[in-house]
Structure 1
Amino acid sequence: MNSLQGKTAIVTGASTGIGATIAKELAKEGANVVLAARRLEKLDDVKSEILKITNNNVKVIAIQADMSVQSDVNQLAEKALAELGNVDILVNNAGQMLTSTIRSGQVEEWEQMIDVNIKGVLYGIHAVLPSMLSQSSGHIINIASVSGHEVTKTSTVYSATKYAVRAISMGLEKELARTGVRITNISPGMVDTDLNRNSAWNDRKMLEATDIAKAVVYAVTQPDYVNVNEITVRPVSSDSARVLRFYK
């Protein structure tokens, strides 16, 4: 039997990249998966891929949701519970990486990052936490970034949002001690996705989305008494790139 058989996982930002790959890896472990993102047609593609690779042995639901809109997030959790009966894992993966310098004055882009990267994480936790507490089990995975550990001259606002994700993870772990609900913060370095592929910072081997998905699987498949609080996943440094710091 697969290690996550009978479990249900919600994965946000699941239409492409890291989120889609996380959803596939969780499904391979036997989890039923609820895919959430703004682009429903992309979610349907991911759903078809998951059903194919699992030989239709898991349930997959695709739900259009904007994580910056609380009513969307609440409906996401409600539909997951109504159709699958329980929510055991939430992967807060949806994120925005836009213009991050203060001097740019791109207030609208800052607001988008704050709305998705911080408020979206809080909305997701708020939506699933009551059911997790009632069943005395659950696992919340927050995807942060190495930019939540280090700030460059071009990452100020983005880094601030990812620092916030880490703070939420650390505080929530303490709030939920002895409840049966576990919290893991995962901070990826530069990952080879559409978002980063054309970046000027890609002069060394980037991580694969699978590397982050495997970290998620590692955390959620530990024994119930083990809580993996923090995972940082970086590319191996080279001499020419060691001084550089990377966004997710």
Structure 2
Amino acid sequence: MTPSTGHKVVLITGASSGIGEATAKLLAERGHHVVLGARRTERLKGLTENIQTAGGSAEYHPLDVTDAEQMRVFVDAARSRHGRVDVLVNNAGVMPLSKLEALRLDEWNRMIDVNVRGVLHGIAAALPVMQAQHHGQFVNVASIGAHQVSPTAAVYCATKYAVWAISEGLRQEVGGDIRVTTICPGVTESELAESISDPVGREEMRTYRSVAIPASSIGAAIAFAIDQPAEVDVSEIIVRPTASHA
């Protein structure tokens, strides 16, 4: 069994910015080895170097979570190098908001591919490894949108509810060896809003994001769940601004 505290091998998708980047820095500071995956390898390289310069342990690999084979290689590389995979943080996500009547099918499909299939690809790659080693933890980043729906966010919220449902189903299936945590951030400082091309959705998000918490707050919640004793499964954490009404 992996120790409940101390050094763990933690894989993080979508690690080049926002919640993924903040989580990587915090976990490395706490003595975990972080394996970083994202498409923007130059940013991953810089983040890895910064972590190492600060005394932490990190490596990075190119990763597009919509490609199941890339995800398998990402997980297998970590297992081959370190002998185990203790945690997979399924964090990669996109949020191009728009009203349904805008009929932005390409953006809907992109959200489904990244936000839902990306998580499923992570589970498919890491679950056999964790089952074979008889321990492990999935941390799936959903959203406050998994619990409430707002205009322009119907498809995004649907994908995040899917993450919540998949996580709960996985938790019930895996038994006592593997932990499953769902993290539901409220409004958080990140680059997600930059993917909004629809003017109505962009304006809606500008108003919604008038109060936001730093990405490090979500990283702290993830660290809390990871650092619990092996017999403690923190199933879900909702983290949002104190001043948020939603």
8 Å contact kept, 2:26–2:220: yes
Equivalent positions of 1:48-127 (< 5 A) are: 48-53=49-54, 55-56=55-56, 58=57, 60-127=58-125
Q: Compared with structure 1, are the counterparts of its residues 129 and 212 closer, same or farther at alpha carbon in structure 2 (3 Å cutoff)?
A: same
Measure the CA separation in 2 of the matches of 1:226 and 1:99: 36
Measure the CA separation in 1 of the matches of 2:38 and 2:214: 21
Q: Tell me the residue number matched to 2:181.
A: 184
Q: Tell me the residue number matched to 2:199.
A: none
Q: 1:29: how far off?
A: 1.5
Q: Tell me the residue number matched to 2:27.
A: 26
Measure the CA separation in 2 of the matches of 1:219 and 1:5: 13
Measure the CA separation in 2 of the matches of 1:194 and 1:156: 20
* Aligned amino acid, residue 220 of structure 2: K
Q: Tell me the residue number matched to 1:222.
A: 228
State the structure with bigger RCO (CA 8 A, min sep 6), 1 or 2.
2
8 Å contact kept, 2:5–2:228: no
Q: Tell me the residue number matched to 2:44.
A: 43
Deviations 1:111-152 (A, max 9, x none): 000000000000001101111111111110000000111001
8 Å contact kept, 2:90–2:139: yes
8 Å contact kept, 1:100–1:158: no
Q: Tell me the residue number matched to 1:136.
A: 134
Deviations 1:23-45 (A, max 9, x none): 11111111111100001101001
Q: Tell me the residue number matched to 2:190.
A: 193
8 Å contact kept, 1:146–1:232: yes
8 Å contact kept, 2:44–2:60: yes
Measure the CA separation in 1 of the matches of 2:86 and 2:207: 37
Unaligned 5+ segments in structure 1 are none
Structure 1 residue 10 corresponds to structure 2 residue 7 = no
Unaligned 5+ segments in structure 2 are 195-201
Extract structure 1 runs of 4+ deviating beyond 2 A. 2-6, 194-199, 201-205
* Aligned amino acid, residue 187 of structure 1: C
Q: Compared with structure 1, are the counterparts of its residues 25 and 183 closer, same or farther at alpha carbon in structure 2 (3 Å cutoff)?
A: same
TM-score (norm 1): 0.90
What percentage of aligned pairs have identical amino acids?
40
Cα RMSD of the aligned pairs, angstroms, is 1.8
Q: 1:237: how far off?
A: 2.4
Measure the CA separation in 1 of the matches of 2:108 and 2:155: 7
Which of the residues 163, 166, 170 maps onto 1:165? 163
* 3-state secondary structure, aligned to 2:35: strand
Q: Compared with structure 1, are the counterparts of its residues 111 and 196 closer, same or farther at alpha carbon in structure 2 (3 Å cutoff)?
A: closer
Q: 1:204: how far off?
A: 4.0
8 Å contact kept, 1:193–1:209: yes
Measure the CA separation in 2 of the matches of 1:112 and 1:33: 27
Deviations 1:226-247 (A, max 9, x none): 1000100011126xxx3xx4xx
TM-score (norm 2): 0.90
Deviations 1:6-65 (A, max 9, x none): 310000000011101111111111111110000110100110111122x25x2x221001
Measure the CA separation in 1 of the matches of 2:28 and 2:209: 33
Give the number of aligned pairs. 235
* Aligned amino acid, residue 176 of structure 1: V
Q: 1:93: how far off?
A: 0.3
